[in-house]
Structure 1
């Protein structure tokens, strides 16, 4: 386990670091020969010390009665160690920036098993769990945490694992699709098509598209699936009926996969269709470099503060952060805010998470719905001449 001593999120003086200094005084005592005692060549007697009963050394983390214990459950080894370390670094920055003296965060590696990491965290006295990252880990941790009445603020984007004390902070594909479809509809587009990968993400993207288009009173003319090979993607595009023209086509996959599909789209029925992406595009630092994506739209969390954060992160840790790490920063801001009313020795006040006003951070405004899923204020971006440009800003609140 690695422990973060002090750490930072949205709306407070960003990235100011503090240094702590301490001083230690030493004292000594000497023996005194009583008046009238005979002279002797022997050294003076040592003063008698009172019997000492030191506290026994116990296993686990030393108790801290001044700060709330919070556990961070992320992969610190294995295939996902990079993103886990980036999230852990972000929580350090957040505590430093907020200068909070009420929260103590200890990191637990989930690579050896999220359930065992959760048990250790609860045994150590943590009253709140931040993480884990993967949906299967959330499923493993939630019943253990719920039995101990410890809430879980997960970084997963799988809404199906929310509930029973688990909250989901990840960027939801459904919200991203709803936002970009809404913007397209307001721009006059009513006929939509889609390419989605085979699997759970594709199924959920399809459902989200159907709901979003229905809300805008438009039509989905065709949804085609593929297995991520170039041949399969081309075949999926060609299966869209020529008799079903569309004004916009959603490609529910990474920016790189979308770029593979666009030449075939332009050569068939979608010569002038607007290409729409999902929140996955915002995790690709090279999304603007692909000329095939020029003019495409996608919706995601705002990027304005991320650029400043990334510079500070790189300066402190010597490398670029993972885009997802801002969730770690923002969840610490949320925790520090609620910690003002979190009484020592008492359970974490879960009701404070359900504020209608929500919270603010590097990724903009967000709040939890009744199901425990983070509802986010998203912006729409366009890829234009090698850059991403905001064409529809995210709302600053939920009024």
Structure 2
């Protein structure tokens, strides 16, 4: 079941979870229904006789939190339902509903708590309500607020963040870590004979992590690092950095760790001093228009597979009347993981956190993944090539570890 709210008057609504694309190939269908609990107040009729009316009955004591549920696993979903990130949080919540329905997960009950009202408060309420596993939150700063509260209650956190610095000590992250796509595409390029590498990265956290992963990946692949140029987020700064990189020396492959739209502007400059193989990250897989730029055609990037996600997105649009956010697949796959572990998890007992470290990992909309000993989801990625008509997979993701 899926619930929403954070107070004793919380409404529990029937929920079907999506398929942030159904788990590889055949996702189960249908789901559980949640009932609204209401209190009935009885009316007293005073008889028309002499004397004072009888005293009213003492009101029933109402305990705080949600009603006790001994037959199902209580799982909290912490996402923003209001505020600037409400659309993303709602898409993740909708996807969890679809997954519950598809998996016929009658033993799992999910309650949604709004982190926009305060992530720490949401975590405290979730734990007070008896939830034994937390899915979310989305933002790394919210993970920092939630983690110590959950840790004290021995409740593991399965976050949608991609910030590796918040992982560990009871926190697992499912987000798409940029370093993994950088390592994958650099390794692939090296296997195709490219030796001398350069990179163009923005001056932000994503760029810094991508640059660090790039240096490590080039070294591990036996390549030569020629130059790394960074830029502030302005067209002039990017053009200047691209020009410096183009003139930095002989290189045959260049990584652009930024959104596809920025890559489109930078690539002609980078190629102005010689043809180079252009490499990208997982941020490109949501921009099918990249092939409209002739300079971008033939570029390679690594990301999770979009095949099952496309199927999930179709079902999502039918159910909710709009396209989902790409991150909604994380919610879907988190539910599939939970349902799998729930087979051997006694309702009311602490979540068997060691099961998250299963060496064979898990499968879902985004392909197979497993958690390393730091709590970071290691994902099987595919390499795609940008073409005039869209993307073409040129090196499929592994299907088993």
With normalisation by structure 1, the TM-score equals: 0.88
Q: Deviations over 1:33-88 (max 9, x none)?
A: xxxxxxxxxxxxxxxxxxx9996332322221111110000111111111110000
1:294·1:384 contact (CA, 8 Å) conserved in 2?
yes
Match of 1:44 in 2: none
Partners in 1 of 2:294 and 2:124 — Cα distance?
Answer: 49
5+ residue gaps, structure 1: 23-51
Match of 1:10 in 2: 23
Structure 1's 234 and 210: CA in aligned 2 closer, same or farther, altered over 3 A? same
1:358 to 349, 353, 361: 361
Give yes or no for the alignment of 1:184 onto 2:189.
yes
Higher alpha-carbon Rg: 1
Give yes or no for the alignment of 1:248 onto 2:253.
yes
Structure 1's 69 and 243: CA in aligned 2 closer, same or farther, altered over 3 A? closer
Q: Which 10-residue stretch deviates more, 367-376 or 275-284?
A: 275-284
1:196 to 192, 201, 204: 201
Match of 1:67 in 2: 72
Partners in 2 of 1:102 and 1:297 — Cα distance?
Answer: 43
Give SS of 1:335's match.
Answer: helix
Q: CA deviation at 1:7?
A: 3.7
Partners in 2 of 1:13 and 1:182 — Cα distance?
Answer: 31
1:77 to 61, 82, 87: 82
Q: CA deviation at 1:291?
A: 4.2
1:305 to 308, 311, 320: 308
Q: CA deviation at 1:16?
A: 2.7
Structure 1's 335 and 363: CA in aligned 2 closer, same or farther, altered over 3 A? same
Partners in 2 of 1:19 and 1:335 — Cα distance?
Answer: 15
Q: CA deviation at 1:289?
A: 4.3
With normalisation by structure 2, the TM-score equals: 0.87
Partners in 2 of 1:89 and 1:258 — Cα distance?
Answer: 32
Q: CA deviation at 1:244?
A: 1.4
Partners in 1 of 2:254 and 2:109 — Cα distance?
Answer: 47
1:108 to 95, 109, 113: 113
1:12·1:98 contact (CA, 8 Å) conserved in 2?
no
Give SS of 1:312's match.
Answer: helix
Structure 1's 145 and 285: CA in aligned 2 closer, same or farther, altered over 3 A? farther
Q: Deviations over 1:324-380 (max 9, x none)?
A: 101100010000000111112210000100000000001000000000000000000
Give yes or no for the alignment of 1:369 onto 2:372.
yes
Partners in 2 of 1:353 and 1:20 — Cα distance?
Answer: 27
Give SS of 1:10's match.
Answer: coil
Q: Deviations over 1:168-225 (max 9, x none)?
A: 1000100000000010000100100000111222111111001100011101100001
Give SS of 2:326's match.
Answer: coil
Give yes or no for the alignment of 1:222 onto 2:227.
yes
1:15·1:93 contact (CA, 8 Å) conserved in 2?
no
5+ residue gaps, structure 2: 6-11, 36-56
Partners in 2 of 1:364 and 1:17 — Cα distance?
Answer: 22
Q: How many pairs align?
A: 367
Partners in 2 of 1:311 and 1:241 — Cα distance?
Answer: 41
